[in-house]
Structure 1
Amino acid sequence: MSVAPESGGAPERLRLMAVHAHPDDESSKGAATAARYAAEGVDVLVVSCTGGERGDVLNPSFGPGPTSLEGMRELRRSEMARAREALGVQQRWLGFVDSGLPEGDPLPPLPEGSFGLQPVEVAARPLVELVRAFRPHVMTTYDPSGGYPHPDHIMCHKVAFEAFEKAGDPSCYPGTGAPWEVFKLYYNHDFSLTRMRTIHEAMEGQGLVSPFGDWIESRAAREIPERPVTTRVEVSAYFPQRDAALVAHASQIDPEGFFFAVPRDLEADVWPWEEYELAESRVPTTLPEDDLFAGVRDVVETVGATVSTEGEHA
């Protein structure tokens, strides 16, 4: 893979692509990381695979929501615009339709034409095109379980992994632009049991009511395996941007609810990070990491320096 320098011999800016299933996922998973890197001059692009059309109104103070898919799509687009501004990032839609979260026993089939029913090669094609246009050095998405068993989250993982694997192969997805090989792929770990237990114990130690008690017990009872954490990014200074992005999704996030039940000073003290699992890397790196661009910066800076030196001797 070649890293093209910008005009003037300087290395190109680092680029991060965060691939999510629905609008609001970008604000609850890796949001402070995105805000931090954007503030540091990294080009950050959030990709929303679906429009969140089949999401319910989850904020009890919001009032009645739209009754049609089209109405909900427009509402969630407007919320996404405010969240994007709060984080200081770019954002693009892949254009697929939310599958909804099936409930019942047995589970009902997914709606015809929804994202979760798309063949992977069909759903991945627009993402491959976007990868080849934006040329991210790093991508983030969900682990193979989706983080939780929502069909769109599982499909999001499949599509992002496919794009990571195939975007650099000129024989794959013809007609979607020049090949671009991404350096690193990460999985988000924002709701790990370790994080929840640490914050839960800290809150109880201060005589506070933890929002995680029932959740910890239910996860432990189901013996949900904890995936390995390779990378912790310190982001406590960007909790305000994350919180502003959460509040922007007013139909989904109750400002008096779960996401805001932990005092921010306590959170910054006991868990100032967002965690990731390095799934694939095409550059050397040493684990554990504290930077998603570990190993990437060296390559980009080396290429830029080489080009600059060559120019001086020309």
Structure 2
Amino acid sequence: MPHRLMAVHAHPDDESSKGAATSAKYVAEGNEVLVVSCTGGEAGDILNEDLPAPAMSRAHRDMAGFRRGEMAAAQAALGIEHVWLGYHDSGLPDAEKGETVRPGTFATVPLEYSTEALVRVVRRFRPHVLVTYDENGGYPHPDHIRTHEVSMAAWRDAADPSKYPDAGEPWAVAKLYYERTMNPRRFTAFYEAIKEREPDSPLVEQLGEWVQRFADRPDLATSHVDVHEYFDARDAALRAHASQVPPNSPFFYWPNDLLATVWPTEDYQLVEARVPTELPESDLFAGIPAEQDVTA
């Protein structure tokens, strides 16, 4: 019987930049993967100046609709299931200009409302593994931080029969992970490899900046999933989000053949577990029987 993984993300495109190859791998192995997008990405800007004119025009007229089409293409590239939680993108206010998050957007909705919405999804899909962001949201975007808060609340409350009794039968997810894509050791390993293979490549300077940028970030990863056979699926999903991911995006700095040798994994931090675990891990489903129903 298949295992089930649920990844909770803030915006469409987050599922493609964080853990996409893991999703593709587990689907290919016969498991079920559900991505939850908490918002529609309506407040996003068009970040790709090379977007063809007809597409650019459609995106300007209907950013929400355009990003739904991009998400559908990314979903197809990865073979995943997908759910919109249904909240409005909070945007990224500029604190130096005195901007604040707009009322009625995801980050301002009372936590119990969005938690109930996510609990309904958890109890319906019944995942064995839940993947989300850490308390900083991966980076401090209001929607990413709220995604963390909602995910943690749903992890706890979905298993509690006294919480949201109309939201379905209780389900205790076996393991909870934070994604750790921005692994400082990963950047350093690839930087050293590209310097040796192509010392005159512009990537040396570009990746050197990334190494410095993340030098002070601790390596908290406990679990490393070998996904090198699925880097192309990840890239296809990223390119599906054409309004957000230009062809020269840093996501494509890493030649996949070299990455497969130097750092073939996507990385995660095990945060909570309701089953026995041994670290480090190479499989997010390690220790979970296929039909594991863990009591809280």
- Structure ID, larger Rg: 1
Residue 157 of structure 2 is aligned to residue 170 of structure 1: no
Matches within 5 A, 1:26-65: 26-62=15-51, 63=53, 64=56
Matches within 5 A, 1:66-145: 66-67=59-60, 71-105=62-96, 107-145=98-136
Aligned-residue offset at 1:277: 0.1
Aligned-residue offset at 1:164: 0.6
Aligned partners of 1:26 and 1:46 also within 8 Å: yes
Q: Secondary structure at the match of 1:80?
A: helix
Q: Secondary structure at the match of 2:258?
A: helix
Deviations 1:213-236 (A, max 9, x none): 22332344xx4x425111000000
Identity of aligned residues (%): 51
In the aligned structure 2, how far is the partner of 1:118 from the partner of 1:52?
16
Residue 255 of structure 2 is aligned to residue 263 of structure 1: yes
In the aligned structure 2, how far is the partner of 1:84 from the partner of 1:218?
31
Q: Aligned partner of 1:261: which letter?
A: Y
In the aligned structure 2, how far is the partner of 1:14 from the partner of 1:195?
28
Report the TM-score, using the length of structure 2 for normalisation: 0.92
In the aligned structure 1, how far is the partner of 2:207 from the partner of 2:156?
36
In the aligned structure 1, how far is the partner of 2:87 from the partner of 2:194?
40
Residue of structure 1 aligned with 2:223, choices 216, 231, 237:
231
Q: Aligned partner of 2:213: which letter?
A: S
1:216 aligned residue:
211
Aligned partners of 2:180 and 2:268 also within 8 Å: yes
Aligned partners of 1:236 and 1:272 also within 8 Å: yes
Number of residue pairs aligned between Structure 1 and Structure 2: 285
Q: 1:273 to 1:107 in 2, by over 3 A?
A: farther
1:278 aligned residue:
270
Gaps of 5+ in 2: none
In the aligned structure 2, how far is the partner of 1:120 from the partner of 1:239?
35
Aligned-residue offset at 1:107: 4.3
In the aligned structure 1, how far is the partner of 2:73 from the partner of 2:14?
14
Q: Which moved more, 1:145-154 or 1:188-197?
A: 188-197
Aligned-residue offset at 1:104: 4.0
Aligned-residue offset at 1:199: 1.2
In the aligned structure 2, how far is the partner of 1:162 from the partner of 1:246?
29
In the aligned structure 2, how far is the partner of 1:192 from the partner of 1:150?
19
In the aligned structure 2, how far is the partner of 1:107 from the partner of 1:46?
34
1:245 aligned residue:
237
In the aligned structure 1, how far is the partner of 2:42 from the partner of 2:181?
24
Report the TM-score, using the length of structure 1 for normalisation: 0.87
Deviations 1:78-129 (A, max 9, x none): 0000000000100000000001111241541101111111221111111100
Aligned partners of 1:203 and 1:209 also within 8 Å: no
Matches within 5 A, 1:140-219: 140-206=131-197, 207=199, 208-210=201-203, 211-219=206-214
Q: Secondary structure at the match of 2:270?
A: strand
In the aligned structure 1, how far is the partner of 2:186 from the partner of 2:45?
27
Aligned partners of 1:116 and 1:152 also within 8 Å: yes
Q: Secondary structure at the match of 1:82?
A: helix
Deviations 1:147-197 (A, max 9, x none): 101110000011111111110100001210110010000000111222112
Aligned partners of 1:24 and 1:246 also within 8 Å: yes
CA RMSD of superposed structures (Å): 1.6
In the aligned structure 2, how far is the partner of 1:154 from the partner of 1:271?
28
1:9 aligned residue:
none
